[in-house]
Amino acid sequence: MLRVMRLDGQSLWGDELWSLHHISAPIAGVLENVRADGTAPPMYYLLLHLWVKAGGSSSFALRFPSVIWGTLLTPAMFVFGTRLLGQRGGWIAAALQIMAPFQVFYSQETRAYIQMTLFSVLASYFFLRLEETKRFQCMWLGYVVTSLMAVGSHYFAWPVLLAHGLLRAGQVVWAALFRRRLDRGPLWRYIAACVIILLAYLPWVTYVWARARGLSSTQQRMATPLAVIVPRLLNDFSIEAPVMTASPGDVQWRTLGPFLLCLLLALLRPQRRRAQIQLVCLLVLPTLVIFYISFNAWPGWTRYFIGVSPYYYVLLAHGIDGLWGALPARWVPNNIAKRLEGFALGSLLVVMLSLQARGLQQYYTNPQYARWDYRGNMEVLSRDARSGAALVFNGGKDLPLTLRYYTPPDVSWRILPQGCASDPIEVETQIARVASEHTFIWLVRLLPSQCDPDGVLYGWLNRNAYRTHEFWLENHQFSHYLTPAVMPAVAPPTQSPPATFARLFALQEYAISNTKPMPGETLALLLRWHPLGPIDMDYKFFIVLLGAEGEIFAFRDGMPLNWTRPTSSWQVGELIDDRWGLPVVASARPGRYPLYVGAYNPANGQRLPLTTETGEVIGDMLEITTLEVQEKGSR
């Protein structure tokens, strides 16, 4: 239930749509797409390809296989934990895995991480059972199949198999050092399984080897130090979903207290030493290997370590389970001891599950944990397109799947420059033609850009149009511009007496597209600046429409001409036409309100004083004009 809740509540983000791109081809095409990508093996994509044939490609359908794998991980955790710790330990490990926000997050994502985790746990379970003499054929086959499924889902399953090898080698060394009898049957069964796994995986390695080598040569090892990785893993595995669209918050050490206590109990507990060593090896060795070989720390980089998270939950279960039988019989009568131990065990588990439940509530409701919202933003773009705005894609020859997936059939895009033209004059001519046909333009740039790598089209709009706002979704830059066909004549500002900003520059004239806007309307504002002397600093400007009681009804902040003409580049005697798009808030009340402009030092926020010709300081904002906000719907 937790893994289905709000399954399609968030937009598919870039990596999920990349998964859809991989499977949008016949089987042979899927393999070629995965090989061309070079960052993952094909098993997840092949299964998703078959699933989409039956279930469709809606966001709910695309994510549902991960729900299945995440749900199946719970019984897998139980049987694995039971094998190591007994049934009570298995139940505790499964409960912690069910409630972990980290596990729920990746059980709701169209990526291979949770599938790889499931088969890694099953491979570890069958690895433990290779020592059995009964039904060893089934255990051996189970280990081969689940190991191949794990490493076929993601390359980061290999460190888990490496930990299996280290554990088996440790058994051999231990027997040799202490002259213990070693049952060679399980050893040979394990070696045979490894040979089969490697031989079965070899065709894929051969197929992808050249591409993988080329890709790895362009990547750097993860720059995040291990001292940062370990606390973040403890935090995310225990109580928090990954933060994808912003920097993660500080590690919540106080909230982690019960989890750290259980880890300490697990490591100090004298019982079940073998299980303890196996869990520590399965947890520590893959973490170190992944740290050493991993790529840069992209947002949500803790996902690279998801394959070790089940062993963390089992180790926690080992610590909690240690409370049972902790009281020596000589201290407390046996019947009372059992009750106290059961109360302590249950209380600690309830506290930990409650902390995880709070993390789940945050994941479901707090925007901090949201993925990039392509769906919501494409709804805005589509609505504007139906109202006459032009949607322009700049950066490639074809519209990327991230935009195509959420674009309705009745909405069209302009892909510029046409034919990936490289002549700057031709590129500017193409965007100028679009600007002459529309009063609004949404420009979406894909970076790095295959076409127009110098940003000619973007530069033309910044110099000639009125940008209202700009934001990023992953490597997509969304910019909104006003391109009015005609602007009113320029006029001097209404400020009296005339004033300059610290005698550095003055606002000579302005023009505004509409002096009687309605709430929610966006205005085009031209400010014509006159430098009075050399300027050695890049000042920022703000435009603000103030209500009668100081309410802000419109506000923009930035550097001149959409950041393309910093004040340090201004020359004495020239005139700088600075263009701003100014949205009026939807809550603005009808009335007459002054529109101001100000300038400040971005290093310390100190505003430039407004001075008269006599040197008198009369404030720090210049009144441009007065706007008369109309009743909404009055036109």
The per-residue pLDDT for range 211-228, each reduced to its tens digit, is 777 666 666 666 788 898
Say if residues 38 and 214 touch (Cβ distance below 8 Å): yes
Instruction: Give kind and range of the element (H or E) at residue 629.
Output: strand 622-629
Question: Mean pLDDT over residues 477-490, rounded?
Answer: 94
pLDDT band at residue 187 under the 50/70/90 scheme: confident
The mean pLDDT of the chain is 91
CA dist 98 and 80 (Å) reads: 15
**Digit-coded pLDDT (tens) for 288-323:** 999 988 766 778 889 999 999 999 999 999 998 877
pLDDT at 340 over 80: no
pLDDT band at residue 6 under the 50/70/90 scheme: very high
Q: What is the pTM of this model?
A: 0.89
Distances 479 to 23, 85, 368 between C-alpha atoms, Å: 31, 56, 23
Question: Mean pLDDT over residues 32-46, rounded?
Answer: 89
Separation of CA 396 from chain center:
23
SS3 482: strand
pLDDT at 337 over 60: no
Question: Mean pLDDT over residues 471-486, rounded?
Answer: 94
Q: What is the pLDDT of residue 295?
A: 60
Say if residues 97 and 103 touch (Cβ distance below 8 Å): yes
What is the residue-wise DSSP string for 488-556?
PPPB----SS--EETTTEEEEEEEES-SSPPTT-EEEEEEEEEE-S---S--EEEEEEE-TTS-EEEEE
Query: How is the chain split into domains, by residue range?
Result: 14-369, 380-482, 500-629
pLDDT at 329 over 60: no
Span of 203-212, 364-373, 475-484 with lowest mean pLDDT: 203-212
Secondary structure letter of residue 423 according to DSSP: -
Contacts with 560 (C-beta within 8 Å, 6 or more apart), sequence order:
529, 541, 566, 567, 576, 578
Question: Mean pLDDT over residues 182-206, rounded?
Answer: 89
Question: Mean pLDDT over residues 54-59, rounded?
Answer: 91
Span of 123-137, 228-242, 503-517 with lowest mean pLDDT: 123-137
pLDDT at 180 over 80: no
Secondary structure letter of residue 467 according to DSSP: E
pLDDT at 425 over 70: yes
Amino acid letter, residue 559: M
Note the CATH architecture for domain 500-629: Sandwich (2.60)
CA dist 44 and 116 (Å) reads: 8
SS3 582: strand
Q: What is the pLDDT of residue 327?
A: 47
Span of 126-135, 364-373, 538-547 with lowest mean pLDDT: 126-135
Strands 576-583 and 591-600: unpaired
206: its two tokens:
């051969």
343: its two tokens:
């109360």
SS3 271: coil
Question: Mean pLDDT over residues 39-65, rounded?
Answer: 93
76: its two tokens:
């897998």
Span of 192-206, 315-329, 526-540, 612-626 with lowest mean pLDDT: 315-329
CA dist 288 and 281 (Å) reads: 10
pLDDT at 635 over 80: no
Q: What is the pLDDT of residue 614?
A: 85
Opening angle at CA 493, ends 491 and 497, nearest 5: 130
**Digit-coded pLDDT (tens) for 115-174:** 999 999 999 999 999 887 677 789 999 999 999 999 999 999 999 999 999 999 888 887
> Could you tell me what percent of the chain has a pLDDT over 70?
94
Q: Left (φ > 0), alpha (ψ -120 to 50) or beta: where does 435 sit?
A: alpha
pLDDT band at residue 579 under the 50/70/90 scheme: very high
Say if residues 116 and 40 touch (Cβ distance below 8 Å): no
Q: What is the pLDDT of residue 418?
A: 93
Distances 93 to 57, 194, 241, 407, 581 between C-alpha atoms, Å: 34, 28, 18, 43, 55
Contacts with 502 (C-beta within 8 Å, 6 or more apart), sequence order:
608, 609, 611
pLDDT at 527 over 80: yes
Q: What is the pLDDT of residue 215?
A: 62
pLDDT at 410 over 60: yes
